[in-house]
């Protein structure tokens, strides 16, 4: 079973997209492009979602596997 975490190795800002890529098995670059497009189209709603995700999801080293 996969665990959801913020990546330490595949991170640009806080590791949110890298952790999501690891969890889903989708390429992180593709998820980042999709996120930026959604961010521009949502007038900042995705920025709020990213910030909340950053606060809620634990770091990679804090997850017990």
In tens, the pLDDT along 5-14 reads 777 777 788 8
Determine the structural domain holding residue 22 and report its residue range: 16-57
Q: How many domains are contained in the chain? A: 1
Q: What is the pLDDT of residue 13?
A: 84
In this structure, is residue 49 part of a structural domain? yes
Judge whether 3 lies within some domain: no
The reply to whether 64 falls in a domain is: no
Residues 56, 16: Cα–Cα separation, whole Å: 10
Residues 6 or more apart whose CB falls under 8 angstroms from that of 34 comprise none
Which range among 14-18, 29-33, 41-45, 59-63 shows the weakest confidence by mean pLDDT? Answer: 59-63
Rg, C-alpha atoms of the chain: 12
Is the pLDDT at 33 greater than 90? The verdict is: yes
Confirm whether 45 is domain-assigned: yes
pLDDT at 52: 92
Q: What is the mean pLDDT of residues 11-36?
A: 88
With respect to residue 2, please indicate whether it lies within any of the assigned structural domains: no
């Amino acid at each position: 079973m996969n665990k959801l975490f913020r990546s330490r190795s595949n991170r640009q800002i806080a590791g949110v997209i890298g952790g999501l890529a690891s969890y889903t098995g989708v390429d992180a670059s593709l998820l980042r492009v999709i996120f930026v497009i959604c961010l521009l189209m949502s007038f900042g709603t995705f920025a709020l979602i990213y910030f909340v995700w950053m606060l809620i999801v634990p770091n990679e080293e804090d997850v017990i596997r």
